Amino acid sequence: MADFDTIIIGAGPGGYVAAIRAAQLGQKVACVEGRETLGGTCLNVGCIPSKALLHATHMLHETHENFEKMGLIGAAPKVDWAKMQAYKDDVVSGNTKGIEFLFKKNKVTWLKGWGTIPAPGQVKVGDDIHTARNIVIATGSEASSLPGVEIDEQTVVTSTGALTLAKPPKTMVVIGAGVIGLELGSVYARLGTEVTVVEYLDAITPGMDAEIAKTFQRILTKQGLKFVLGAAVQSVTKGKKGATVTWKLRKDDSEASLDAEIVLVATGRKPYTAGLGLEALGVEMGPRGTIKTDAHWQTNIPGLYAIGDAIAGPMLAHKAEDEGMAVAEVLAGKHGHVNYGVIPGVIYTTPEVANVGLTEEQLKAEGRAYKVGKFPFMGNARAKAVFQAEGFVKLIADATTDRILGAHIIGPAAGDLIHEICVAMEFGASAQDLALTCHAHPTWSEAVREAALACGDGAIHA
């Protein structure tokens, strides 16, 4: 008999959720984690520490920008960087310990160390070989760099180094205008760093609704971030103080460079599967280093599954969690399911940016008839009261059936507002269904309803 029903390798949001759900469904479960703490990239060096720093620096920004307007007069707070780092570390350890507690509560065994798979049904950790009926790979991802750019996590850093800099730098170049680059760029811009974002494409946040991206860039520029778009980085050369980033503008091949104390390379992430022994096992791989799986997250090796950042799809914690729950259901003989058409994406800047479903650009490419309902936060009383009236809600519905196809929001609490639309989409709702739903006043959510009204006979406050 096998030692465990299921062994999961990796305790990030994919792995730890799979472990807990499998245990809840009556399985004997172990989770292998090589890090000192549970929670993976997300809790240790990703979602959670970045949101702590975003929160702290947002508070600072509010005191400088808006307190006086509300009659709150007094000395503005100064930054104690060591204390801010300690706050962030406390938030992280509170969360990682929380997962340890949940493992104990659900009787999940934590096998401490780095796991390999010497043969189907076996996981080796240290000198011990553990057997299981099923194995789930949830080993996540790692930052990818540019060819020839050497990361030292001191001067030329990935997001991991950027979360623990010795002090906020005077100047920073961020390579890549994606979610991670813009969130961390915002953190340092609010701390007084001169931040320049260099992006290969001609727009920020690739893949996002073009109108939102344009508005977002305008707002971030007002907040002090500088952008160089359409620029292919040629080299990053370390000097005595900082580094020099050289790029070529794609439109005319002209070359330019900029010195910065810190260079943050935020050019994306790639699946992390090193050392697992997948090649020897004959595991089929997909594009860009992903592990290939079927609709039930099973690889081509029976009993070997994979989820999260290590497989295809958006590299998001909640996508990994959903797959973790679903694969556990499958392993328990139930029907695990993930609706990949309704996975929200959020950028936790101020204002927040959120999206779900299809963009106008995608619908145009598909030749599908659609209608758009848009509502600016300028018409929302609550947003105006808190100085967050920039931005808008954009709802996209099918031209014939009125069924909601997607939503794109830039504005206050966009990352929470988006879920009303996710639920509506899961229920196959029409824009009119949302428009007919009573929304409390004064809330930011009213802007969602107004956008739905704008899909029909028109918004009231626009």
Indicate the residue among 112 and 251 with the shorter CB distance to ligand FAD: 112
Question: Per-residue DSSP letters for 295-335?
Answer: TTSB-SSTTEEE-GGGSSS---HHHHHHHHHHHHHHHTTS-
Annotation marks residue 408 as catalytic: no
CB 196 within 8 A of CB 174: yes
DSSP-assigned beta bridge partners for residue 32: 9, 111
Q: Closer CB to ligand FAD, residue 41 or residue 85? A: 41
* Contact residues: ligand FAD, CB under 6 A: 9-15, 32-35, 40-42, 46-47, 50, 114-115, 138-141, 159, 180, 272, 275-276, 308-310, 315-318, 320, 348
The CB-of-275 to ligand FAD minimum distance in angstroms stands at 5
CA–CA separation, 148 vs 53, rounded Å? 30
Give the list of residues 6+ apart from residue 395 with CB closer than 8 angstroms, or none: 372, 373, 374, 404, 406, 407, 421, 431, 434, 448, 451, 452, 454, 455
Instruction: Name the catalytic one among 64, 337, 441, 461.
Output: 441
What is the C-alpha separation between 427 and 191, in angstroms, rounded?
43
Distances (CA, A) of 309 to 140, 237, 270, 313, 320: 5, 31, 8, 8, 7
Report in angstroms how near the CB of residue 405 gets to ligand FAD at its nearest: 22
Pair of tokens at residue 164: 């623990």
Q: How far is the CB of 39 from ligand FAD (least distance, A)?
A: 7
What burial letters (b/e) apply to 242-257, b meaning 16+ CB within 10 Å? bbebebeeeeeeeeee
Pair 321, 344: CB distance under 8 Å = no
Query: Toward ligand FAD, which CB reaches closer, 51 or 133?
Result: 51
Minimal distance, residue 37 CB to ligand FAD, in Å: 8
**By C-beta, is 135 or 243 nearer to ligand FAD?**
135
- Nearest approach, Cβ of residue 314 and ligand FAD (Å): 8
- Of the pair 247, 348, the CB lying nearest ligand FAD is at 348
Catalytic positions are: 441
